[in-house]
Structure 1
Amino acid sequence: MLSRPTLRSRIDEASTEIKKKVTEAMRGVDHIATTTDCWSARRWSFIGVTAHWIDPDSLNRCSAVLACKRLRGSHTFDVLAGALNDIHSEFEIRGRIVRTTTDNGSNFLKAFQVFGEDENNEAVEAVGGETAQPGQEDDQEESEEVEFVDVATILNEDDGFEYQLPKHQRCACHLLNLVSTVDALKATSSEAYKKVSRSTFGKCQAL
């Protein structure tokens, strides 16, 4: 019989070996898509992440589960962003993810709105992309002076982008599910819609 410490160490060793193989398999891939979801069970919160890519040599579709880990506390948008950022960094794929697909939960939507790639680019353009009015360029160049700034101050400054998430994709299946359940139920509150709906579905059922 295996002792508990021996069994635990063997599981840890197997897990580490699998992580190395998955990381190595994705090392030569430039475009990776991920899917993620979070859920609660018996007052515990969890997050799951899978990766999908095409093998550059065989052109076969490949998938791998990257994580199924527990989240401490409530799964708010910043907690989800931190967990995703850590998982992407652990498997060295942070800069190669083209899309991350999630459901339409408000926590996921806000996480990608705040820390997503598209929003970060827009924020940078909004800060540094002001256009000068005609005739003002020469005046600005003449009035500009060289200003020396302490590099350490810039590096230590909190820019609000401590997490870097890729572009976001909402799950189409989840959208259709919401339309067929929540939205359809709300639409029946309108008498005009209810009349047309019953007539249309009655004809469909007759066919």
Structure 2
Amino acid sequence: MLPINTVDSPSFRAIIKKIPTSVNAELPHRTTFTSYLEKEFTEMERNLKATLKEIDFVSTTVDIWTANNRSYMGVTLHWISRTTLERHKVALACRRIRGRHTYDVIGTEIENIHSSYGLLNKVVATVTDNGSNFVKAFQVYHPVTESDDEMEEEESSPKDDDVTFSDLSEILSAENESDGQLSLPPHRRCASHTINIICTRDVEKHLTTNAESRAVYRSSTAKCTALWTKSSRSTLASETVEEISKRKLLIPTSTRWNSFFDAVKRIAEIPMGELNTLCTKLGLKCFKDQEYQFLHEYCMSMKPLTAALDILQGDCPYFTTNT
């Protein structure tokens, strides 16, 4: 996507002028395009608000990301049609977030977005990742129901003979926070993100607790990483991989664990003899039997989680899941 001022670039306008048209039309300038976009946005927003008036229950998803040293909050809206039972979704907002992503900033922005579309009493749940700032925002600003209050009182009520002490500073700070407090909907953690954490942090933690498994895990993944690095940085190395293994190596990305699994699986599909021949030609350390076996067992163990992630992250119209 290019900025709107691209249309004012002399080179861009020169290219467009060479396109034959039936009429002698002139390319509009930036101000005209800006006015057109604002008009279309206003119309789209008005139609969306009219649609949402007829809907009683919705859910939202919220995420924050950084691009070019700027932070943004994106909110999407989801609901099921009462007549067709089809799932619908729209992009609700994409707003710049300035400063630190603290829980109060996040909570305020979420409520403002919900309020601007008249959704404060319609959102049954908001799904986010497992980030501590999101979690705290909903812990602080999600109102507790009466049944929750009663249950908490029953569990925490002291015996007659017990002496309880209260922290005065906590009481005073709680009273200050309650003034003009926000009200957020129930919180649900994204199932895909939770599984992703299990596949990365928890699995690695488990594999590194034992000295033997830690050694084979680190050595095998290090050799895989060396293969990925070599083939991605050298055209000659990439051609050597295709020549020997008759396939291309997949390079994992940091944002998707599935890509790491797919990349390991692609290496494990190469027969060990061909794999070590490839490593020798590329000047890399060869795989030992134990390391090669580990790759196969890793893929076999993680395959169900990979299948679950593919389903959850796909655009499936039949169900959605959160934890």
User: What SS does the aligned partner of 2:43 have?
Assistant: helix
Query: Is 1:20 the equivalent of 2:63?
Result: no
Pairwise CA distance, 1:161: 5.0
- Contact (CA 8 Å) 1:45, 1:74: kept in 2 or not? no
| C-alpha contact 1:187 1:193 (8 A) present in aligned 2 | no
Q: Distance in 2 between matches of 1:43 and 1:103?
A: 21
Residues 1:121 and 2:145 are matched in the alignment: yes
Separation in structure 1 between the aligned mates of residue 74 and residue 297 of structure 2, nearest angstrom: 43
Alignment of 1:1-207 (within 5 A): 1-117=27-143, 120-121=144-145, 125=149, 159-160=178-179, 162-191=181-210, 194=213
Count matched residues: 180
Query: So what's the TM-score if we normalise by structure 2?
Result: 0.49
1-structure distance, mates of 2:69, 2:211: 43
Q: Distance in 1 between matches of 2:297 and 2:181?
A: 56
Distance 2:75 2:93 in 1: 5
Q: What TM-score does the superposition give when structure 1 sets the normalisation length?
A: 0.74
Deviation at 1:183, TM superposition (A): 1.3
Q: CA deviation at 1:60?
A: 2.1
Residue by residue, what CA displacement relative to the aligned partner does 1:43-68 show, whole Å, maximum 9, x if unpaired? 10001000010122333211110011
Q: Please provide the CA RMSD for this pair.
A: 3.3
Offset, 1:158 = 6.5
One-letter amino acid of the structure 1 residue matched with residue 178 of structure 2: D
After alignment, is 180-189 or 169-178 more displaced?
A: 180-189
Rounded to whole Å, the distance in 2 between the matches of 1:158 and 1:106 is: 19
User: Which structure's CA Rg is the greater one?
Assistant: 2
Tell me: higher relative CO, structure 1 or 2? Use CA pairs within 8 A at least 6 residues apart: 1
Deviations 1:21-62, CA, capped at 9 Å, x for gaps: 111111111110111100111210001000010122333211
Structure 1 letter corresponding to 2:197: L
Q: Report if aligned partners of 1:104, 1:175 keep a CA contact under 8 Å in 2.
A: yes
Measured in 2, the distance between the counterparts of 1:204 and 1:183 equals 14
| Per-residue deviation, residues 149-169 of structure 1 (Å, max 9, x unmatched) | xxxxxxxx8624532110000
Question: How far apart are the structure 1 equivalents of 2:47 and 2:124?
Answer: 21
SS in 1 for 2:121: helix
How far residue 5 of structure 1 moved from its aligned partner, in angstroms, is 2.7
Identity across matched positions, percent:
35
Q: Is contact 1:45–1:70 with CA below 8 Å preserved after alignment?
A: yes
Gaps of 5+ in 2: 1-26, 158-175, 218-289, 301-323
Tell whether the 8 Å contact from 1:115 to 1:161 is kept in structure 2 after alignment: no
State the distance in 1 between where 2:298 and 2:142 align: 43
Distance across 2 between alignment mates of 1:11 and 1:173: 34
Distance 1:201 1:27, change over 3 A: same
Name the SS of the counterpart of 2:83 in structure 1. coil
1:33–1:99 CA contact under 8 A, matched in 2: yes
Select the structure that is richer in helix: 2
Q: Pick closer, same or farther for the CA change 1:158–1:77 going to 2, 3 Å.
A: closer
The answer (yes or no) to whether the contact 1:78–1:111 under 8 Å persists in 2 is: yes
**Quick one: which amino acid aligns to residue 51 of structure 2?**
A
Q: 1: CA distance between counterparts of 2:195 and 2:142?
A: 24
Greater per-residue strand proportion: 1
CA shift in 2, pair 1:161/1:184, >3 Å: farther
